[in-house]
Structure 1
Amino acid sequence: MSIITVECLLAASEATRQHVWSLMVQHAVLVRELLERVAQHPDFEKWQSVGNLPAKAIERLAKESSNEETPLLSDPRFSQLPDRFYRSAISTVQTTYKSWLALQHGQQQKRNRKQLWLDVVEDDLLMEHNKSQLDLVVEKAREILSQLLFEMKKEATEASGEKKDRKQTASEKTQEKRKFISLHKLNKLYNSSEDALTRRAIAHLVRNHSQVNEEEDLDKIPLKIEKTRIEIKRLDQQLKSQLPKGRDPFGAQYQKNLEFATELPSNLSTSEENGSEFIKWNVEEDQRQAAVMRLPKSLPYPINFGSNTDLRWFQETQERKTLKGKRTNKPRNQIIVRFQGLKEHSFKILCDRRQLPYFHQFMTDWKTYKELDKIGKTDSEKCSASLFLLRSARLIWREDNRVPPKSLRKKKKKQKNNTVVVSGKDVGTSSEVRKTEPWNTHRLYLQCSIDTRLLTAEGTEEVRQEEIDQITKQLEGDSGDSRKKKTVTDKQELSAGQVADRKRKSSTLTRLNNKSAFSRPGKKSYQGQSNILVGVSFSRHKPATVVVWDAKENRVLETQTVRQLLTDQNVKVKKGNQSIVQLRFQKYRLIARRRRLLRDKSLRCSQEQSQGVYQQSESGTNLGLYLDRLLAARIVELATKWKAGSIVIPKIENIRESIESEIRARAEKKFPGLKEAQDKYAKQFRISFHQWSYGRLATAICCRAERDGILIETAWQPWSGDLQDKAKDLAQTAYYNRESTER
């Protein structure tokens, strides 16, 4: 499933924009107070340890009163908020805390694993190592690894109930070699063992990620230890991060930060009597600077519309005018949208031509839905909203950064008769005062998420079948939870809400069987071979290296570097003064051009910072995005050429933290005890590492592949080996993981 987002500008009257702004400000205040109440809940520490929030916890918190305060849903401050805005606030808080708790839980687990690794490696480093016994250590490590793998296979066989004497396939043998032994199991085995050779062998497995490395360089172990220490230290700082805080639409929080930053000690004397107070004030200098630099967002939170029936689509015929203000004979069909909770307000859709077909489809789906949903028709004649192209939407404000045209810039200081005077002071004309209002200095946008499968008849049928299967399982009680099965099958124990839910699902199932409701154009779907995978490896010097691997024959079909990907071999004729070779390598040379731009930008930034005139610039960003899209297009073309079933890209989670820790470890080793030299070295090394946005490249590959119907898989990229071997290893890992999951 490929979900993309399309965006358009909403045009409305000033009264409508003012009303929407006031409601969204109340919505932002409600979200802020809900965030504070969640942190004060007595079960918050329990939720934090688990790393998740219970279902409907935020909804119950909004309805309940805390510390003798009125419930937020009945607070008079939010009495004008529509029900959709209440639900949007609850979903915003739920999503915010879910992601924050999951991030904290994951970081804590990561910290524990790194601490286990550090304990074993440091303890092993204290022992005297005899290099002549390295062969014995490697042999012992191989013996321990095979024993652990045999135990894991035995446990898996007993759990699945398979026959123990079943003959292994080639893929299973390869997969067994790639098994990852749990770090907790290795740590437990290390602590329980008393034999020195066994402990050294286990430490060897821990250092090499559960693999036997015959060419291990023991001189690099101190650098790895220092890198892990820095990673643990950074994780400890991240775990102490502040709780989620709401936005500040009235600027109250920023005012508090400003007062704290400009606060002076009661006595500036540095004598012994008042020295402690002055020292404390001086120590808090960094905190005061960070507080004033940390500017909370003042824009209201977006309003989420989780149901596609919350938006009503219409079309109006309007007269079109030329640039000189004259009317033409060709009217314009304007798309109008109205929202649940704002039914009396209408908004015009303003978008470009590429996005206009999506909004026409929204309007067509809504028109079909309303025509078939008339009173008197049975469910079999109606249609389900679950087949709408629109999945969800949200309203969002953005600052208006448009440059006014020259005609408006010349018309200044002309309306002097409408001057507004407040307390004897001239504050400008009424139009100028009105222009400074936030609903006039910001623009309202609508973001719509769509499922690209619903653009074609084949994709719509696939979605319809998925919805039917899901609802059928729910009605039949075909779930893993026995409690759920009992509640849906035993009608005597069904509550009124469960009966209504079953009735609604039965009606939806009947509507889904109406295949003729939505008409979509047909498109032949992509059919790839599951045994052919395209592995893509990322590196610092070469953005992408691609390998096409056949799992059945276990051989590489084709390999392409970034130079080959961006070389156009179809150029046969020179153009103007450019030769054929220049035209073929025209796009590949853009990589060197981008590196020069980044190098010049870095030098210019350092000069501007030393002069105190630095301004942030995004020069070169569009060129990087263009190159990412070019690479993504070439990779997908290569996958289509070989009829590949999937494209495998590396997992890039936490790659920045790993690189930052390695940079710091290298800096401390090169300049021990010299903080300024370490910072300077780390800065230069960091620039060379972060010259390419791998997250943006991965997103471009995913978007292009999903558009053509090619599956995207992810796997961990190995640290050692050349780029071709890394890409091949990615493809193999994804294939064997897929096979083990299917079994």
Structure 2
Amino acid sequence: MSLITIQCRLVASADTRQFLWMLMSQKNTPLINEIFMRIAEHPDFSVWKEKGKLPKNFLAQQIAELKEDKRFQGQPSRFYASVHKMIDYVYESWFTIQDKNKFRLQGHTRWLEMLKPDTEILQCFDGSWEKLQNQAKKILDEIDSTLSHTRIVDKLFKEYEATNDPRIQGAIVYLIKNGASIPDNKVETEKKYKKLKRKVEIQVHKLKKQIEISAPTGRDLNQQKWLDTLILASLASTTMPLNQAQCDRWFSALKKNSPSIPYPVIYETNEDLKWSLSDQNRLHVRFNGLSDHTFKIYCDSRQLPYFQRFYEDQELKKANKNQFSSALFTLRSAMIIWKEDDGKGELWDKHKLYLHCTLDTDYWTVEGTQVVAQRKQKEVLNIIDGMKEKDDLRDTQKKFIQRKETTLARLNNIFPRPGKPIYQGNPNLFLGVAMGLQESVTLALVNVGEGKAILYRNIKQLLGDNYHLLRRRRNEKQKLNHQNHKARKRASFQQKGESNLGEYVDRLIAKSILKIAQEYKVSTIIIPLLSQMRSITEAEVQARAEERIPEYKEGQKKYAKDYRVQVHQWSYGRLIDNIKANSAKVGIVVREGKQPKQGTFTDKALQLALSIQQNITEGKIPRNTKF
């Protein structure tokens, strides 16, 4: 399954926009905020936090109870379903982040406890570098050299835990400090050790703060929390913060630019959207629960064919009643969303209304649709067979089986769609895409069967004649940061956003990556898992600042701030989304891997590709899984 998201403007009358804005901002978002508050204040919240999930029926019970509250009455049933989906999504993400941070904290804390200078390690070897390096070489020889750098380090940590021999433990620490290798330069200076230790301490401190972060609180559309904090801060002469933590919370609340738009409304069912054509041949859409309101579709020429396909699927099913199944609609789900804008007038005039649609690219061609239909038929058959194995079926169960048999028959009818051969890549060719501060993007085309790289490409080679746009974007980003800094000093919270140049450069890079992948018949593109990138780069910046300006906190903060502006800033998430979207159109599998922290960027791209192959070989990732 390859899912992509497209968007369009929704244009409607002023009355319709006002009605929808009031419904979403005065009913739907406050309901979400209320449930967020109840969750955070629940006596069992600490237990849920430890388990990493909310009770099964808790959200449904809260919504059913609050539907009777006058503050939240009068919403369509799909809006209440959207509340459930939105809160479930937010907390699933929040719990996932908490679990990852706890796991990383355990690892960093363990490494901090293990860490010791070479002078201390040498004491176990009678001060002999030769004995230390011989022991380290012996440990490395027992590990499969074809493993990725990350897996070698993991094995070293496990071996450290499994032994009590101080000589082996010391040699393992020596190896990990030097990137799982034996360095030519034997001497580790005290300055180098302190820098390494401080870097780990910074990461531990940041992770602890992230774990202590408060639960989701919702969106303060009226800025009431900001005003309350401002009043408390203005009365500092009589109302002082109790401690530094409370002071930090006040400062964070005042600095935070809270969203001024309501939560989106999610439509999980593709038949909740009714498409139509006007006399001028313009697409319109209506939503279940908002049937009295019609919205015009405004999109660019690249996305128009997708919206036309949604209309064609619906009309074909309608014209051939009981012949086609909506399970094979190209559209999978949709979301109504307001986006902040600099318009004038009322809030529903100032901000713009958009529709985000998620579709499966496998449904775009007749060959892809046939593959999906076969998969769904198998799933339905398994359900039917499972139900028929039961004895004494109730009438409701018999009717359920009849509905499934009807669905099975409709899945045999494939929507008429254009034909296109399914992309077949070489299963041994992977394309690793490394990303970082110094080098935005580095590619490594790897033959994973042989464990060798075929070619490398850096950002300059990928962009070619458009490389000058990278410098232009960097200058634009620095200028924008400076302008927003001045705006914050003037207490202006309406800051400027960047132009579309960054998005254009992302598309050029993604297009170049896909071109190389198609040219060499790559089967899989591996992109980095960037959830840890922020903490890693922040720790590096902080450690660099402490090295350059020791024992002077204010100077370190200023240096770190200036250095962040100097290094190349990049929207990694947006670039990854472009790579995924382009690959999905062709049918190339995209997977996420853990990018190594050490080595050159070409080495990182190579190891990134090899690490995924190792997971496939060990059965941790199914070979044909798409992300």
TM normalised by structure 1 equals 0.75
Check the 8 A contact 1:646/1:712 in 2, yes or no. Answer: yes
Q: Distance in 1 between matches of 2:244 and 2:593?
A: 49
Counterpart of 2:282 in 1: which secondary structure?
A: strand
Distance (Å, rounded) in 2 between the aligned partners of 1:207 and 1:618? 41
Equivalent in the alignment of 2:503: 625
CA deviations on 1:574-608 (whole Å, 9 max, x unpaired) are xxxxxxxxxxxx42333344445455666777788
Q: Does 1:185 align with 2:158?
A: yes
Q: Quick check: 2:4–2:584 contact (8 Å CA) kept in 1?
A: no
Distance 1:502 1:229, change over 3 A: farther
Distance 1:255 1:217, change over 3 A: same
CA distance in 2, matches of 1:72, 1:600: 48
Q: Which whole-Å CA distance do the structure 1 matches of 2:451 and 2:122 have between them?
A: 43
2:306 aligned with 1:358: yes
Q: 1:474 aligns with which of 368, 379, 383?
A: 383
Shift of 1:107: 0.7
Which residue type is aligned with residue 460 of structure 2? R
Q: Is the 8 A contact 1:5 1:447 kept in 2?
A: yes
Deviation by residue 1:621-677 (Cα, 9 ceiling, x = unmatched): 533333332222222212222222122233322111111112112222332211122
Q: Secondary structure of 1:465's match? A: helix
Q: 2:171 aligns with which of 174, 196, 201?
A: 201
Change (3 A) 1:612 1:136: same
For residues 600 and 291 of structure 1, what CA distance do their matches in structure 2 show?
26
Cα distance change on mapping 1:460 and 1:727 into 2, 3 Å: same
Q: Percent identity?
A: 34
Change (3 A) 1:140 1:397: same
Of structures 1 and 2, the one with the larger relative CO (CA 8 A, separation 6+) is: 2
Q: What is residue 79 of structure 2 aligned with on the other side? A: 85
2-structure distance, mates of 1:21, 1:615 = 21
Are the counterparts in 2 of residues 117 and 206 from structure 1 also a CA contact under 8 Å? no
Q: Spell out the pairing of 1:292-691 with structure 2 (5 A cutoff).
A: 292-317=254-279, 332-373=280-321, 381-402=322-343, 435-436=345-346, 438-477=347-386, 488=387, 490-492=389-391, 501-515=400-414, 518-567=415-464, 586-598=465-477, 616-618=495-497, 621-691=499-569
CA distance in 2, matches of 1:236, 1:502: 52
- CA distance in 1 between partners of 2:138 and 2:476 (Å): 53
Deviation at 1:609, TM superposition (A): 7.8
Aligned: 1:719 with 2:597? yes
4-13 vs 595-604, which moves further: 595-604
Q: Which of residues 603, 611, 616 is equivalent to 1:738?
A: 616
Q: Deviations over 1:262-303 (max 9, x none)?
A: 33555xxxxxxxxxx768599966554443343543422111
Alpha-carbon distance in 2 for matches of 1:60, 1:613: 42
Give secondary structure in 1 for the equivalent of 2:355.
strand
Q: How does 1:225-264 map to 2 (within 5 A)?
A: 225-264=197-236
d(CA) in 1 for partners of 2:519, 2:62:
55
Whether the 8 Å contact between 2:148 and 2:610 is mirrored in structure 1 is no
Which letter does structure 2 place at the counterpart of 1:451? D
SS in structure 2 of the partner of residue 174 of structure 1: coil
> Is the 2:433–2:526 contact (alpha carbons within 8 Å) kept by the matching residues of 1?
yes
CA distance in 1, matches of 2:430, 2:251: 52
Structure 2 CA distance, aligned partners of 1:119 and 1:20? 56
Alignment of 1:700 onto 2:596: no
2:132 to 132, 137, 158: 137
Q: Quick one: which amino acid aligns to residue 387 of structure 1?
A: L
CA 1:446 to 1:181, structure 2 compared with 1: closer, same or farther past 3 Å?
closer
User: 1:404-461: per-residue Cα shift (whole Å, max 9, x none)?
Assistant: xxxxxxxxxxxxxxxxxxxxxxxxxxxxxxx53x333333322211112222111211
Secondary structure at 2:42's aligned position in 1?
A: coil
Aligned to 1:329: none
Conserved in 2, the CA contact under 8 Å of 1:124 and 1:203?
no
Q: What code does the residue aligned with 1:351 have?
A: C
Aligned residue in 1 for 2:182: 213
Shift of 1:104: 1.1
Which structure has the larger Rg over C-alpha atoms?
1
- Per-residue CA deviations over 1:63-102 (Å, capped at 9, x if unaligned) read 3xxxxxxx21322333311211111111111111111111
For 1:283 and 1:546, locate their aligned partners in 2 and report how far apart those are by CA, in whole Å.
Answer: 44
Summarize deviations over 1:245-272 as a string: whole Å, max 9, x none: 1223445434433433333555xxxxxx
1:205, distance to aligned residue in structure 2 (A): 4.7
Work out the CA distance in 1 between the residues paired with 2:70 and 2:483. 54
The answer (yes or no) to whether the contact 1:534–1:644 under 8 Å persists in 2 is yes
AA in 2 matched with 1:625: E
Q: Residue 120 of structure 1 contacts residue 187 of structure 1 at CA under 8 Å; is this kept in 2?
A: no
Secondary structure, aligned partner of 1:654: helix
Pair 531,359 (structure 1): closer, same or farther in 2 beyond 3 Å: same
CA shift in 2, pair 1:562/1:13, >3 Å: closer
Kindly tell me: are residues 295 and 212 of structure 1, through their superposed partners in 2, closer, same or farther at Cα, counting changes over 3 Å?
A: closer
> Is the CA contact 1:313–1:335 (under 8 Å) kept in the aligned structure 2?
yes
Counterpart Cα distance in 1 of 2:284 and 2:582: 31
The number of residue pairs the alignment matches comes to: 615
Are the equivalent residues in 2 in contact too, given 1:547–1:556 (CA < 8 A)? Answer: yes
Q: Matched residues in 2 for 1:602 and 1:246: separation?
A: 27
Q: Which amino acid aligns with 1:468?
A: Q
Give the unaligned 5+ runs of structure 1.
Answer: 64-70, 150-171, 267-276, 318-331, 374-380, 404-434, 478-487, 568-585
Change (3 A) 1:591 1:251: closer
1:648 and 1:202 mapped to 2: Cα distance? 30
User: Counterpart amino acid of 1:291?
Assistant: A
Cα distance in structure 1, aligned partners of 2:351 and 2:383: 45
- Aligned amino acid, residue 242 of structure 1: S
Moved more, 641-650 or 289-298: 289-298
Aligned equivalents of 1:283 and 1:475: distance in 2?
Answer: 58
SS at 1:80's partner residue? Answer: coil
- Residues 666, 508 of structure 1: alpha-carbon distance in 2 compared, 3 angstrom cutoff: same
Q: 1:34-55: per-residue Cα shift (whole Å, max 9, x none)?
A: 1122223343222211222344
**How far, CA to CA, are the matches of 2:490 and 2:293 in structure 1?**
52
Amino acid at match of 1:450: L
Deviations 1:705-725 (A, max 9, x none): 222222223333333433333
CA contact (8 A) 2:118 2:174 kept: no
Given the superposition, is the C-alpha separation of residues 627 and 9 from structure 1 closer, same or farther in structure 2, using an over 3 Å criterion? closer
Between the aligned partners of 1:460 and 1:707, the Cα distance in structure 2 is 14
The verdict on how the C-alpha distance between 1:146 and 1:46 changes in structure 2, with shifts beyond 3 A counting, is farther
Q: Deviations along 1:186-230, whole A, 9 cap, x unmatched?
A: 45335xx1x431231232355457x34344763333222111101
> Given the two structures, how large is their TM-score scaled by the length of structure 2?
0.87
Structure 2 residue runs of 5 or longer lacking an equivalent are none
The AA in structure 1 aligned to 2:308 is H
C-alpha spacing 1:495/1:27, structure 2 compared with 1 (3 Å): farther
What's the RMSD between the two structures over aligned residues?
A: 3.4
